[in-house]
Amino acid sequence: MMRIINVRSTFARVAAAMALTMLALSARAELMIQITEGRVDAVPIAVVPFAGASDAPENISDIVRADLHRSGQFKTLEPGDMLSRPTSADQLSFRDFRVLNQEYVVVGSMQKTDSGAYEVRYGLYDVTREKQLMTESYRPPESQLRDVAHAISDRIYEELTGIQGAFSTKILYVTFNRGTQNPYQLQYADADGARVRTIVRSKEPIMSPSWSPDGSKIAYVSFEKDGLPKIYVHDLASAQRRVVAQYKGINGAPAWSPDGQRLAVTLSKGGNPDIYSLDLNSGALEQLTDHYGIDTEPRWMPDGEHLVFTSSRSGGPQIYELDINDKSTRRVSFEGAYNARPDVTPDGRYLVYVHRRNGSFHVGVQDLQRGTFDIVTKTDMDESPSVAPNGSMIIYGTQYRGTGVLQAVSIDGRVKVELPSKEGEVREPAWSPFL
Amino acid sequence: MRSFIKPFLAVILAGLLAACSSTPTEEDTSSTDTMGQNTQTTPTTPVERPKPSKPETSSIPLTAENFHNHPSNYDGTTDTRVIYFAFDSNTVPAAAFESLRAHAKYLKQNPNAKVRLEGHADERGTREYNVALSERRAEAVQKFLRVQGVSASQLETVAYGEEKPAAFGHTEMDWAKNRRVVLNYTAGRP
């Protein structure tokens, strides 16, 4: 496994929230065991039920507890195991939590005000030092209670790890429900799987969803209407969209440049799949690769000057890096005969891609600084890895009992989160930027 | 009976070998792609067509390995609308030649007819890479038809990768059924 370089990056590996609904949480409780697999050092924290939470439309303390638990960084205490359930600082007896070996405790309340908004207060306390670390209050309307819950999770996570939390992010993904009128749907949800929104429904395939760097737009491939692939850019707030590529042959694999001005795309209009840069303002197209092998699945490096992509130019698929200025390429992956569909961590240090070993497809992580490569998943039909905006976790598609499901794993492979399958297949997750 | 089957099996096996000659080992599954379109996929006119002896086809065991080249999948007429491919191969199987020639003949006689060649891959590997692989299969069928003299204006290809499987299981046989090119007439259906 990869070595830990410094404390900050240690924390950076472990974070983020995944798509378990509360229902599935109880129904598939045995899967939760895997979350802390390999992390005996998960930090014990007690999130005490907030006053008024059970009567509110969204139970903030339950959401925060689930967020922290799913990150794999924390071991959360079940409310039923608590000796006391304080809801404010003056009720808090540190001793009750110290005897349960808790390091931190969160207490709070949520109350409906006359205006209809909620008054949410909470505090984070260090049990050992018997000290308040943080206290905050919010006044959200009812519709934003979940946002406040995730914001609290982000604050607690950052306070205790030094890394920005990714609980307030979204996951974009494709679902497939065979036998329904529109089997292919493009959806997004909170990072914990709640608040699912459908963006597009289609009889024909939808593929390769990708976020703009500011999170306001998405790009994707849709075969709707005439059965031919087109690349769409879709504004989430207005639901307005436009076709940006409909050339002869493949129109695929859109990836947004860090400045949001361009899409890297795969087109085969030249007779062969190559990578192009499409200027979203002018519509101008620049060909970046020109090789008779397959070039596809581009991702921008954070510098905006380089791309990584899959190419078959040396035999089977391998990862290459391209300098967009002089169009020079160099091979990056060398282990095994199948490496494809790269993503990159926000700091540009790690490449995450699909690696085949003994006929199985796993997610692998390559450390570009140290040159090491490690397989981080135990599942064996893995695809479409996507890195969280804080670089902590990778969400990816795989199969569970023959059905497409999403799973998440920390960059170092120590935390594994198994996600319940919703109805039908879920595939091609794309983790949003910070929103 | 047996004496009939044996030579026929030999033809099938020969076809299989021809189709699979570039099929790599499991540890090097993608090497056919590497040759690029210059050398691969050229489904040149076959020197000899396998003699169709329909009554015998049922006696040849249908396996995931020979599925793409099994005579029961091709009836030698334009009724055959699906061409199957060996694992990681873009080579048009010999058993499909006669059916494709029937399509070519029909298309030449009916210049208004148009066919969309829909390429598909099995589910293994990454999705956009599979789109590219499936395009190569569609192009292989397109080249075959072009070599037979079909006008380019009657042909169109689309690559669906693994997105539209015909079989939804996850066995070798399901994958064999999904590695295919579908001839979809968009005008002048025979």
User: pLDDT digits over B120-179, tens only?
Assistant: 999 999 999 999 999 999 999 999 999 999 999 999 999 999 999 999 999 999 999 999
Q: Residue B178 has which token pair?
A: 């999904």
Nearest-neighbour CA in chain A from B126: distance (Å): 6
User: pLDDT digits over B24-73, tens only?
Assistant: 333 333 333 333 334 344 444 445 555 555 545 567 899 999 999 999 99
Pick the CATH number of A170-431 from 2.120.10.30, 2.60.40.10, 3.40.50.150, 3.30.499.10: 2.120.10.30
Nearest-neighbour CA in chain B from A384: distance (Å): 7
Show the domains of chain B with their CATH numbers: 2-187 (3.30.1330.60)
Q: Where are the domains of chain A?
A: 17-161, 170-431
Assess A198–B contact: CB distance below 8 Å, yes or no.
no
Pick the CATH number of A17-161 from 3.30.1360.10, 3.40.50.10070, 3.40.50.720, 3.40.720.10: 3.40.50.10070
Q: Do A312 and B33 touch (CB under 8 A)?
A: yes
Q: How far apart are CA A41 and CA A221, in angstroms?
A: 42
* More confident position, A417 or A165: A165
Nearest to A253 by CA among A1, A35, A430: A430
Q: Do A297 and B129 touch (CB under 8 A)?
A: yes
Q: Do A296 and B26 touch (CB under 8 A)?
A: no
Lowest-confidence segment of A24-28, A367-371, B134-138 by average pLDDT: A24-28
Lowest-confidence segment of A74-88, A174-188, A253-267, B4-18 by average pLDDT: B4-18
- DSSP helix/strand/coil, A54: helix
Share of chain B above pLDDT 70, in %: 69
The stretch A130-140 carries a mean pLDDT of 97
Nearest to A354 by CA among A332, A330, A381, A315: A381
Nearest to A96 by CA among A42, A46, A54, A43: A46
Which residue has tokens 């909620």? Answer: A118
Q: Do B28 and A337 touch (CB under 8 A)?
A: yes
Per-residue confidence band for A4, with pLDDT thresholds at 50, 70 and 90: very low
Using CA coordinates, name the residue in chain B closest to A176.
Answer: B163
Say what the ipTM of the complex is.
0.90
pLDDT, mean over chain A: 90
* Residue A243 buriedness (CB in 10 A; 0-12 / 13-18 / 19+): exposed
Per-residue confidence band for A27, with pLDDT thresholds at 50, 70 and 90: very low
